[in-house]
Structures are given as structure tokens and as C-alpha cells.
């Protein structure tokens, strides 16, 4: 066993072994994270967070057929997306929505978006007596320090 250690780690000091071990742990953590974000559990959690935001901000719900993630640049994309009002009437469909979050805000556990791109959007407005009945009232975000609300 001692001969194997000499072959694998010849002449390494104790500090070198510790640094090598920490580097190995870091690589294992990154690989584990990459594998985890591709699981159905993580996808369901993200869909739930998106649906919660839709409910809180427009009193509606969202259906997402497929959800994906890219790490460089950090990007979330959803495919075949439908947004419904609180009565269940569809008012927005998109072939694809791409969200590019601000990487610095992710480190701070605060999610801000640098860019949102819609591909193939379609809006379905229902008119009744000269007014739109299925467009939910958007709730104006509360302005926080250093941030400008987007409406």
C-alpha cells in the first residue's frame, strides 16, 4: 500500500495532498450540481417557483412543457409555454422563453434578470362589451433600494 502511495503521490507534502483533496472535492461538487440540475426533481422545483411567481404577480398559472438550463452563460429556457388567467383562459403562448439571470444576483440569492427573450409569442385576447376580459391585471412591483421596477 505504501508503494502505491509513492507511485501516485511521489514526494508530495502534507499540504499538497490537502490541496489535491480539496480540488477533488470541488470537482465532485461541480459534477454533482450538474447532474442534479438535470433531474426531474429540480425541474419540478423550478416550475413550481415560476408558477408561484405567476400566481403572486398576475393571478394566473403557467404550463411549461420542457425546461432546460445552460451554465455558460447562465441561462434558463422553457419550451412550449402557456400562461392562463385565474379563470383558466389561455392568454399567452410561447414556443420558447429564454431568461438570462444576472450572475452576481444569483450568488446573493436574489434573482434579477439581464434579459428575457420570447420566441414565437402569441396573445389571445377575449373581448366582451368592448373590454378585454382575460388579460390579468399586472401587479406593479414594489420599488426596492437601487432597483427600478419594470412594468
Give tens-digit pLDDT for 87-143. 888 888 999 988 887 767 666 666 677 788 889 999 888 888 888 777 766 555 555
With 0-12 / 13-18 / 19 or more C-beta atoms within 10 angstroms meaning exposed / middle / buried, residue 92 is: buried
Q: How confident is the model at residue 151 (pLDDT cuts 50, 70, 90)?
A: very low
The pLDDT assigned to 95 comes to: 94
Q: pTM (2 decimals)?
A: 0.58
Pairing of strands 113-119, 122-123: unpaired
Amino acid at each position: 500500500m505504501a508503494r502505491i502511495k509513492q507511485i501516485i503521490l511521489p514526494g508530495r507534502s502534507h499540504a499538497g495532498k490537502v490541496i489535491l483533496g480539496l480540488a477533488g472535492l470541488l470537482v465532485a461538487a461541480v459534477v454533482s450540481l450538474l447532474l442534479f440540475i438535470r433531474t426531474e426533481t429540480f425541474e419540478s422545483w423550478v416550475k413550481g417557483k415560476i408558477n408561484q411567481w405567476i400566481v403572486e404577480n398576475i393571478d394566473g398559472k403557467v404550463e411549461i412543457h420542457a425546461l432546460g438550463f445552460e451554465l455558460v452563460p447562465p441561462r434558463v429556457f422553457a419550451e412550449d409555454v402557456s400562461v392562463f388567467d385565474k379563470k383558466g383562459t389561455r392568454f399567452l403562448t410561447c414556443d420558447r422563453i429564454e431568461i438570462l439571470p444576472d450572475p452576481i444576483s444569483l450568488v446573493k440569492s436574489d434573482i434579477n434578470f439581464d434579459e428575457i427573450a420570447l420566441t414565437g409569442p402569441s396573445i389571445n385576447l377575449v373581448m366582451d362589451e368592448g373590454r378585454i376580459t382575460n388579460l390579468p391585471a399586472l401587479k406593479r412591483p414594489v420599488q426596492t433600494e437601487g432597483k427600478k421596477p419594470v412594468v
